[in-house]
Amino acid sequence: MKTMPDRTTNGPEVDTVNRKKILLINDLDLFLELKRTFLHREDLDMLSTGSGADAYAMAQHYRPDLVFLDLRMKEMDGDECCRQIKNNPELCSIPVTMLVDDQDEGSLERCREAGCDHVLSKPLDPDQLIAIVRQYQLVVERAAPRIDARLRVRLAQDQSLLTTYSVNLSTGGLFLEMADPLPAETLLNLEFDLPNTSGIIRCKGRVAWVNAHDHRKKEQLPPGIGIQFMSLTMEDMDKIREFVKRQCISPAW
């Protein structure tokens, strides 16, 4: 199946069978946030357009798994595009998230009347954005190359500051040794250094799973938490990828 020219962001051909697809409007902040977190995954395609009319045509053509629309778009506003998607029996099950510049009652009412599933206000909250993508199970947790790595990691949660050490590391996250593990889905700010790498890695993370004292999911690991990186910049992701690659070739450091 041919793709529509200049409307895909990661490759000339979209696999309409095996890959998940997100259709989004040409919003730079939205694209960059999704790119930082998800675009490196090989099982996810992002389709982009700035036109409401084109968005509806692409929804018919590609049957995306999730759609992000701006309330105000060229040729057709986002609420009208959403209404057409929801009124089409073949498309109505596709989740639609509307983006609005403010949370005034008029904008919210337009979105509600169009039948959208979620409304996000600008500037975008990365955590809310990622939660929506995860809600529809578009991100499959996959095993990225992982190495043993003892790194000092600083954690910030609300007003609490913690310091602990990692056991292993990949581009997707790390496992932290912790005598009293934090609960799953806890959101954290992370900060750590990579040996022989300039700069400090800073990003958000979520507790994806817990290795508790009395319920070890992985017996070979100590009590602790598996952290998934969120909002990792492409520069920092490249640093981690190169570090992992170097350790796979020469593990001593």
- Which of the pair, 148 or 236, is modelled with greater confidence? 148
Q: Can you tell me the distance from the alpha carbon of 173 to that of 142, in angstroms, rounded to the nearest whole number?
A: 11
Whether 1 has a pLDDT exceeding 60, the answer reads: no
Tens of pLDDT, residue by residue over 17-43, are 567 888 888 765 666 666 655 545 556
pLDDT in tens, 150-166: 999 999 988 789 999 99
Nearest to 38, CA basis, from 71, 4, 66, 6: 66
Q: Where are the domains of the chain?
A: 20-135, 147-249
Diameter of the chain by CA atoms?
Answer: 61
Task: Record the tokens describing residue 146, joined without a space.
Answer: 């992982």
- Looking at per-residue confidence, does 201 or 139 come out higher? 201
Residues in the chain: 253
Q: Give the pLDDT score at 46.
A: 79
Q: Give the model's pLDDT for residue 30.
A: 66
The domain defined by 147-249 folds into Thrombin, subunit H (2.40.10)
Q: What is the CB neighbour count within 10 angstroms for residue 170?
A: 18
pLDDT in tens, 62-71: 999 999 998 8
Is the pLDDT reported for residue 169 higher than 80?
Answer: yes
Query: Does residue 213 carry a pLDDT above 50?
Result: yes
Residue from 62, 55, 101, 93 nearest 76 by CA: 55
More confident residue, 215 or 53: 53
Query: Considering the chain, what is the average pLDDT of its residues?
Result: 81
Q: What is the four-CA torsion angle of 187, 188, 194, 198, rounded to 10 degrees?
A: 110
- Determine what percent of the chain is predicted with pLDDT higher than 90: 38
Calculated CA dihedral for residues 23, 135, 14, 52, nearest 10 degrees = -10
For residue 250, pLDDT over 90 is answered with: no
Threshold 0.75, pTM exceeds: no
- Exposure letters 79-98 (e unless 16+ CB within 10 A, then b): bbbbbbbbeeeebeebbbbb
Architecture of domain 20-135: 3-Layer(aba) Sandwich (3.40)
Tokens of 105: 């009652």
pLDDT score recorded for residue 13: 46
